[in-house]
């Protein structure tokens, strides 16, 4: 059971080693200006592999539950999918397992990859566990730690976890098949770090924070959903800039938080609480993502031009 690209390597890996009797994914939906009907990444691969695909809109629908039961699956495998009702996850004899992109019990929730980087973590990991009533709280089957690169963003970590997760899932399924699993309960040590869903307002940059905090914020939201800030100046209409990549500078600049320093080398620095941050990649309204050097070619900085919250 899965929908986005993150679930694709796991589906391929499991289909090579085990009999996948069915794939459950999100319904096709219109996208783009032309409202072209798009299939999920998982559905496209499932069809290429000749697998039986189900796309329920309601997971509690009696007809769907009857068809699901008729597949006689020993085990359900879930990743990057919606929350399951008990009538689904309790169905198979061997249980239902989930792959989560964190070292549970920390970073339970919808955005573990983003939140770990936003919080400046140097390591994270992947966890397989049995699904129970409360989300992301089930008995842990296996875990693997992964270091987070100092300049790694959420997209880079996502791609590494996508492949590593397929390896961990296959190992877990093999252990379940051989009845070698010894699940352990989740035991929080102190206050748990959470990974709630990210909304647009969570992505706004607060330049009054430290350079490290702002840098982690940008990395953790790149390339999606993307950190953003408001740019304004004299005779410059207030508008939103997306910031994709930054670098901590080795010097400080004067002015208010969000003040900008432009150099002759076409570099852009922004004042934070304890220093300055260089903006490497950004996007302005109506344009594509670009290097800051390309943006600054021909750009005349308005008076009192700065970023602010």
- The answer to whether residue 184 is domain-embedded is no
Question: How does DSSP classify residue 87?
Answer: H
Binding site listing? 102-105
> Is the same domain home to 30 and 171?
yes
124's tokens: 């994270």
Binding site listing for (6S)-5,6,7,8-tetrahydrofolate? 102-105
- What is the pTM (predicted TM-score) of this model? 0.94
- The answer to whether residue 102 is domain-embedded is yes
* CA 184/CA 176 separation, integer angstroms: 14
> Is the same domain home to 125 and 233?
no
Domain that holds residue 67: 5-177
The phi and psi torsions of 123 (rounded to 5 degrees) equal -145, 155
- The predicted-structure confidence for 71-129, as pLDDT tens digits, reads as follows 999 999 999 999 999 999 999 999 999 999 999 999 999 999 999 999 999 999 999 99
138-143-146 Cα angle (round to 5): 135
CB 242 within 8 A of CB 226: yes
Instruction: Report the CATH number at residue 128.
Output: 3.40.50.170
Question: Checking DSSP bridges between strand 96-100 and strand 76-78, what pairing results, if any?
Answer: parallel
End residue of a domain, out of 145, 177, 209: 177
Q: What is the predicted pLDDT for the residue at 302?
A: 85
- The answer to whether residue 182 is domain-embedded is no
Residue with tokens 């990057």: 80
- The predicted-structure confidence for 7-47, as pLDDT tens digits, reads as follows 999 999 999 999 999 999 999 988 777 778 899 999 999 99
> Is the same domain home to 48 and 115?
yes
Domain count, the chain: 2
């Amino acid at each position: 059971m899965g929908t986005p690209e993150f679930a694709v390597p796991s589906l391929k890996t499991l289909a090579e080693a085990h009999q996948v009797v069915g794939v459950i994914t999100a319904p096709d939906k219109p996208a783009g200006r032309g409202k072209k009907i798009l299939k999920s990444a998982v559905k496209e691969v499932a069809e290429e592999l000749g697998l039986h695909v189900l796309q329920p809109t309601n997971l509690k629908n009696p007809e769907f539950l009857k068809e699901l039961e008729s597949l006689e699956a020993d085990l359900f495998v879930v990743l990057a999918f919606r929350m399951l009702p008990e009538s689904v996850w309790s169905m198979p004899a061997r249980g239902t397992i989930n792959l989560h992109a964190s070292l549970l019990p920390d970073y339970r929730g919808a955005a573990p990859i983003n939140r770990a980087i936003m919080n400046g973590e140097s390591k994270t990991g992947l966890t397989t566990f049995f699904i129970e009533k409360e989300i992301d709280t089930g008995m842990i089957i296996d875990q693997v730690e992964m270091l987070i690169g100092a300049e790694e963003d959420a997209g880079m970590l996502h791609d590494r976890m996508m492949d590593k997760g397929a390896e961990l899932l296959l190992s877990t399924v093999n252990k379940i098949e051989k009845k070698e699993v010894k699940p352990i309960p989740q035991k929080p040590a102190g206050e748990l770090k959470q990974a709630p869903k990210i909304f647009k307002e969570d992505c706004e940059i607060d330049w009054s924070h430290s350079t490290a905090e702002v840098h982690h914020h940008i990395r953790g939201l790149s390339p999606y959903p993307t950190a953003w800030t408001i740019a304004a100046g004299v005779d410059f209409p207030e508008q939103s800039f997306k910031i994709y990549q930054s670098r901590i500078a080795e010097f400080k600049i004067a002015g208010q938080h969000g003040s900008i320093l432009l150099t002759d080398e076409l570099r852009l620095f922004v004042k934070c609480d304890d220093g300055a941050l260089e903006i490497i990649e950004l996007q302005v309204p109506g344009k594509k993502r670009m290097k800051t050097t390309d943006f600054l070619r021909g750009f005349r900085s308005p008076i009192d031009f700065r970023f602010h919250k």
